[in-house]
Structure 1
Amino acid sequence: MAAQFEPSSSVPGGASIGLDELEVSILRSLAVQLLELIGPGDEPEAGDDPLAELFADGPSEPPSDPALARLFPDAYTGPGERQDRAAREAGAEFRRFTENELRDRKRADSLAVVHTLDTLRPAEGSGAAVLTLSPEESRQWLGALNDLRLTIGTRLEVEDDAEDLYRLSDDDPRKPLVMAYLWLGALQESLVATLVP
């Protein structure tokens, strides 16, 4: 898994990458798992007032799952920081008005990954397919790759220094997850490089 994004020669401002069937399968599976973690969107009931939908309240409490708490952090305190009453109330108010929209965007980003991967067809005789992203799809992929890395990093309890991840033995049960984490990081870094002029 050494493929990296490169600037697209056919789509101005876009990015391209060659992916084999295994890479496509892994990326698609991770994106679907992220969608399941984030949860389904709230569909408005038939006849609901569209204006009321804009002002629908979201949750006021942070998620209990550490990975979701990382994806939807508190606005006024950092991880592990103790909140006073004012910060708790301000965080709840902020979350109530922003989390639904943030969840929608994260779902849209993950769905974009799934949809673009579903359109891929391997080139004849190569077993690999070239994925070409528009600038908007690149932004969505970047968001989804970031969310996947945050989720996996939280599950692995990655701290600032992740050097120990490179020294895991092959029989460590975390090894496949670590390999995915590092690969996603390389993909994310190469995609960022295509977006920077």
Structure 2
Amino acid sequence: MRKWKRVETRNGPRFRSSLAPHEAALLQNLVGAMIGLLDERAKTAPSDELEEITGIETGHSQRPGDPTLGRLLPDFYKRDEEDEVSLEAAESLNAALRSLHEPEIIDAKRSAAQKLLDTVPANGGRFELTEEAANAWIAAVNDLRLTLGVMLEIGPEGPERLPTDHPLAAHFDVYQWLTVLQEYLVLVLMGKPTG
């Protein structure tokens, strides 16, 4: 991947880069798999009588059992040890918030991912993004990093380098590549030099 370049136009800024064919294919595969996970979660949401009457979509009240989806759709309220809210009250709050907001969160994540798929050059090559598309790329790439981070068990201290013979070493390299892609896009979007 080349670095991002910001170009000012009459219709607002544009963000240009290019991808090698294997990079474009990798993004397409990763994003397609992530959309599949989100679609499956949305399809399995229980139906609700209120939804049938009002048309307001509701989601699951329970957190995802899959750790990857759990990272993409975390609890809204995180209780700590000294919290005055009981564990039962925190669980009830999370269930209500999840039921109300999970469908729109899934839609937003799916929309950003689809925008990336719609703008990535099919066989690699140069491409240009609007500011809206660049923000969608940032969101989608961040979600990809979260999903890979779960698989690689990357904690709050950041990633640790894996030995080259480790079975997940290639995944770690992809995680690092996505980090650089996202970081440089954020910097150019902010109008800062990318080094």
Q: TM-score range by the shorter chain?
A: 0.7 to 0.9
* Residue pairs, 1:45-194, within 5 angstroms: 52-53=54-55, 55-77=56-78, 84-117=87-120, 120=121, 129-165=125-161, 168-194=162-188
Post-superposition shift, 1:139?
1.1
Structure 2, unmatched stretches of 5+, are 44-50
Measured in 2, the distance between the counterparts of 1:30 and 1:78 equals 32
Residue type at the aligned position of 1:178: F
Q: Against the structure 1 CA distance between its residues 163 and 144, is the aligned structure 2 distance closer, same or farther, given a 3 Å change threshold?
A: closer
Q: How does the TM-score come out when normalised to structure 1?
A: 0.81
Give the corresponding residue for 2:26. 26
Distance 1:73 1:188 in 2: 21
Structure 1 residue identity aligned to 2:22: L
Deviation at 1:121, TM superposition (A): 6.6
Shift of 1:163: 4.9
Q: CA deviation at 1:51?
A: 7.8
Is the 2:24–2:122 Cα contact (8 Å) retained in structure 1? no
Quote the offset at 1:9 in angstroms: 4.9
Query: For residues 68 and 182 of structure 1, what CA distance do their matches in structure 2 show?
Result: 21
Tell me which amino acid in the other structure corresponds to 1:182: Q
Q: 1:73-129 deviations in whole A, cap 9, x for unaligned?
A: 1011169xx970111111111111100000011111111111112xx377xxxxx51
Alignment check: 8 A CA contact 2:79 2:87 kept: no
TM-superposed deviation, 1:66: 0.9
Distance (whole Å) between structure 1 residues aligned to residue 132 and residue 69 of structure 2: 25
Q: Is the 8 A contact 1:109 1:140 kept in 2?
A: yes
The corresponding residue for 1:45 is: none
Q: What is the percentage of aligned positions where both structures have the same residue?
A: 29
What CA distance in whole angstroms lies between the structure 2 residues aligned with 1:37 and 1:172? 26
- Give the CA deviation at 1:185: 0.4
How many pairs does the alignment contain? 180
Task: Pick closer, same or farther for the CA change 1:163–1:69 going to 2, 3 Å.
Answer: closer
Q: TM-score, normalised by structure 2?
A: 0.82
| Unmatched 5+ stretches in structure 1 | 43-48, 123-127
| Deviation per residue, 1:146-190 (Å, 9 max, x gap) | 00000100111101223522xx22211111110110000001101
Taking a change above 3 Å as real, the CA distance of residues 89 and 146 of structure 1, as seen in their structure-2 partners, is same
